[in-house]
Each structure stands twice: as structure tokens, then as C-alpha cells.
Structure 1
């Protein structure tokens, strides 16, 4: 029994025109019109990966996680119910709207809606990106990753780690708590930022070609205030990426070259360096907070820390990895 991939995300927003341009042009997703009050977007052979509903709130509506078998839904439902979490069986109408065969629905302790789904449907038509790209890294690695603001990390750790079975990749405690979890070979599909707030921090999509990230970065720079983090490279998952301000206020990370791990042998550990080797200047922060993050990067660089050479990164070009 296991949750094995991030399947899809749902967003509430009354800015459908803005999301149509942002997800379709900047993120290069394929727009699928689901009617007058919703937009859906594809990234691969799945019928939908992102759903934006015309509702007030501008926030995360739900996170869909895929399970390996239908029986897993019953097992998780029983485990959650025993732990005191209300679980509902998804209706046939809801399953049809999510394009899955079956699902259960519940909330995490912070009130974020979680949907566990089985057997997502595949589209009959080939994926057509919103701008020319080589494609996204999805398949067995799922849609990408999702990151939540949390008030108290310790309150949510038992829920995701013990009840849902997410596996800790690594964590850092300064300048604020950060916990990263994997459910497949992607270094992390889920993370929590102990910011003292609640809500959506960001989601990430990974492109198969670094040039597709760079060309999106060029487009984002044409829009005033669109860039939230400049181009940079993370220290734990080695992702080269930038972050954009979405139409709903949270961030979206566009990345390339993320680290693929072996879940069977991976050992969780605490990290003692900042989140980035270089770049990722947080343009949205006040100068004093930006300076603190900048000093961490400069210290990391001065200590000689680097990502492994490409020859030691088999996940980038290994023909055995199916992307």
C-alpha cells in the first residue's frame, strides 16, 4: 500500500483569464476548457493535471495523490478514521470531474483538502503544449511537487509521515523549519515550510529541457512583478529553477534537472546549508530578509559546495529512467 505520485492540483480563483495566460503561455501547459466556470490544463498524457475553478479565495482548493490500487483507498480510509480524521467516499460525479476511477476525500490538520485517487484517466489526444517545449518530467514521478505553509510543522508531521506514509528526504531548521518528503524517485513531491502561516506556498513543474525554463524566464521578465525568485539552483534536489508570482498570489516554480533518488536506500538527514547554491534572490522579501538569504548563499559558495558533475548525475541522461 502506498501513495506513489502527486496526481493533480486544484486552485480556487476568479481570475480565469489571468490563469489561462499564466498556465498556458508561461508554464506551457495545454488549456482544456471545462465550461464557463473552470479551466483545466494538461502536462502529459493525463486528461488534466491542474484545475482552476471560478470561485473566490485565490488559494489551494485540493491536492490529488495517486495510490497504487483501489484497495489502498479502503486501507487509508480505515487508518484515517481510526486516527479521528473524517473521510468521505468521493461520488461518481466527483470522480468523473477529476477523471479518475475512484477516490476518497479528507482534510489535513490545517484544513487542506486531500484527495486520494485511483486509476487516473489518460487522454485520447496527444499533449499539445501552450508554447514550444520538449515536455515535462512526469510519468512515474508525478506532476511535480507541492509545498504548504504551516503554522507548526510538528503538528502535521505525524499526519503526513505516519498516516499517509510520506517518506522524509531531508529537513532544515534554519532560517525556518523546512521538511521535504518523497513518494517516488523524485527527491520530493511534498514539502512543508514552517512559516507560521497557513496556505499554499508553491507548486513546481519540471521541464525536460533547461532551455524551456530559460525561455519561460525571459517571458516572465517581460511582466512587471512576475518574478518572485530569480534563476537559481537548490542545494537539496539540485533543481535549476525560477519562481513566478501566480495570479493567485502563491508561487509557481519552473525547474529542470531535479535529483532522482533511490527510495529503497535513501537515508533522511538534516541539512545545514541554505536552500540555494546560487541565485533564487527573493524579490518579494524586504531587503533585510533578502540579505539574510543572500548571506547564506554566499557562505555556501565560499565553503566550496557544488552540485555533483553531470557525469555523476545519472538521472539527467540515464536511458533506463523513463520520463
Structure 2
């Protein structure tokens, strides 16, 4: 009999590959307001709390997220996940001591994930003795993890089955939305009390993926409304592109904005989403992503053509082979 690990899984860190270190430092530290540690010319870490690493930036050409790190409560939960993925033929590799140290974690293991996103699991996060330098009163992490990851996919059912298989993910709800003329369906998966740690969007009735990057956006949460508003103002003042202005979501009721990162995917900074009550929660479908706001900034013709080219190319790409549900 398998052990349920729902509630024992928390989004712990994200690994990003980029050559735009100067822009990323300005974006992460000065605009978003995270603590920045530049370890060497090829490595930057961003902190949100006492953990040594919440975002690991490594030098390279991808300009994308390359790995997602999941914090599991104990060795038993790690053993359960590894047993599940190996039973389905996925190779598991133990991280080196250097890789674990860069991420500030112990017992690091990795295995393949959808869209080329490597999934990493660990048991213990190292804390830093260096006082936290942030531009906020605080970020919300804890039992809900650091936030969420949103992806687009031509096989959303398979992605949901993958996260169910690995982490006992539960469906929170759906959103139907039209974005840039495309009818999208977005599903939201939770692995703990946070409304969602993974969001999966697909273009309805069309097998296309309009996003170049593996992730569409990353999300983190600040403790105070003023912190979110101040960061919004800094993003604009520092010349970074805003993707969506401040607004409130229909499903988790989070107030947030979306900025475009130096690598091209988006970064959502939010405040005060609801916490799911497992005893009463029922999945539903919401019409539109926002109750109000989240006004989209104007895209140029060149950007629209690039998006169309990416979507067309996805028709000829073979989607990742994914593992079905249990």
C-alpha cells in the first residue's frame, strides 16, 4: 500500500539558466526585492527567507527555468516518490555534493519531468547565518512553499497525471479564459494548503504551445499589500516590462501583478491568496482569470508574430513522453 504524501510536498526552489546576470540581479534584487548572493561569476542565489537558496541562477544559454526543487518533509516521503517514479521507468540520479551545496539542501535526487523541467527532491534545507536583505516586510513561504509554477502544454491531462503520480497532486479548479484570441483552459493543482503549486494551461481544441519557455510564469508571495504595490512601482521605474498590471484572480483571490523577466518568462508577485480547507473544498470552473485588473500591456506586431511562430513550431514537436496516473 502506497503512502499518501499530499501535504508533505512544498515548492522549495527553482533553477534558472541565463547569461543575463546583470539584468537578473537588477530584476531580482532591485525590482522584485529579493535577497541576492552572487557566489561567483557564474552563480547567483536569491533568498526569500532564512533558506540559503530559493532561486538558483546558473550561467548558460537557455534563458529559462531548467529544474524545480521540491522540499519533502522526511526521508520516507522521498523514498515513496523515488519508488513511484522508478516503477514507471524514469531514471533517478543522486545529486552531487556540489550540486546540493549550491541549492543549500541535503539528500538531493532528480528525475525527468514534463517539458524538459527536471524534478528535484530533497529533505532538508540549510539556513543562512547572513541577515536577510530584502525590500519587503517579508515573503510568505512555510507550509505552502515559495509559490507556484505555471506551464503551457499540449497534453494537460498527462501533466496532471504526472504530478498526481509523483506528489499526489489534487485538482483545485479550472479557469476558462481567452488570451490573445486563443481560448485557454487552465487547471490548478495543489500539493499542500496553497491553492496551487502548479498551473497548467492549454489552447482548447488546438494542439499548440504558444510559449517559447518551459514555464509561462513563476509566482512568489509577499506578506503585506504595500510590499506588492511598492515592487510594482519599482519594476516600472527600473525599466522592466510589465506583462499584467495589478489585479485580483477569480479562483485563489490573490492580488498580484506580472512582470517580464530578463529571460522572457513572466514573474508574478502576489499578496493574500486563500488557503484551501480540505474539509470543504470542491473544484469548480471560473470564467476569466481576474475579478478586476490584470490589464495586459500592448504587444508589438513582432511579438505577436514570434508567438505565432512558436505556436506553429509546436505542431511539429513531439511532446514529452509522460507517465500516466496510478
CA offsets 1:47-68 (integer angstroms, 9 cap, x no match): 1101111111100111001111
TM-score normalised by L of structure 2 = 0.82
Q: Flag the structure with more relative contact order, 1 or 2, with Cα contacts below 8 A and sequence separation at least 6.
A: 2
- Return the offset for 1:126: 2.7
Match of 2:226 in 1: 211
Match of 1:303 in 2: none
Q: Which residue, 122, 147, 154 being the options, matches 1:117?
A: 122
CA offsets 1:157-209 (integer angstroms, 9 cap, x no match): 21112332112111235531211111221111111111432611111111111
Q: Which residue, 263, 269, 272 being the options, matches 2:286?
A: 272
CA offsets 1:98-151 (integer angstroms, 9 cap, x no match): 11110210112322111011111111233121x3x1111112221111111222
Q: Distance in 1 between matches of 2:260 and 2:193?
A: 28
TM-score normalised by L of structure 1 = 0.83
When the two structures are aligned, how many residues end up with a matched partner? 285
Structure 1 residue runs of 5 or longer lacking an equivalent are 291-323
Q: Which residue, 235, 254, 273 being the options, matches 2:269?
A: 254
Asked if 1 retains the 8 angstrom alpha-carbon contact of 2:66 and 2:116, the reply is no
Q: Which residue, 189, 200, 211 being the options, matches 1:181?
A: 189
Match of 2:314 in 1: none
Match of 2:312 in 1: none
Match of 1:158 in 2: 161
Asked if 1 retains the 8 angstrom alpha-carbon contact of 2:217 and 2:266, the reply is yes
Q: 1:100 to 1:142 in 2, by over 3 A?
A: same
Asked if 1 retains the 8 angstrom alpha-carbon contact of 2:32 and 2:235, the reply is no
- The alignment yields a C-alpha RMSD, in angstroms, of 1.9
Match of 2:152 in 1: 149
Asked if 2 retains the 8 angstrom alpha-carbon contact of 1:245 and 1:252, the reply is yes
Give secondary structure in 2 for the equivalent of 1:186. coil
Structure 2 residue runs of 5 or longer lacking an equivalent are 178-182, 305-326
Q: Distance in 1 between matches of 2:119 and 2:239?
A: 34
Q: 1:101 to 1:223 in 2, by over 3 A?
A: closer
- Return the offset for 1:81: 1.1
Asked if 2 retains the 8 angstrom alpha-carbon contact of 1:153 and 1:177, the reply is no
Asked if 2 retains the 8 angstrom alpha-carbon contact of 1:246 and 1:252, the reply is yes
Q: Distance in 2 between matches of 1:50 and 1:40?
A: 6
Between 144-153 and 91-100, report the one with greater CA deviation.
91-100
Matched, 1:8 2:8: no
CA offsets 1:230-268 (integer angstroms, 9 cap, x no match): 11000011111110000000000111111111235423x
Q: Distance in 1 between matches of 2:176 and 2:250?
A: 14
Match of 2:89 in 1: 84
Match of 1:243 in 2: 258
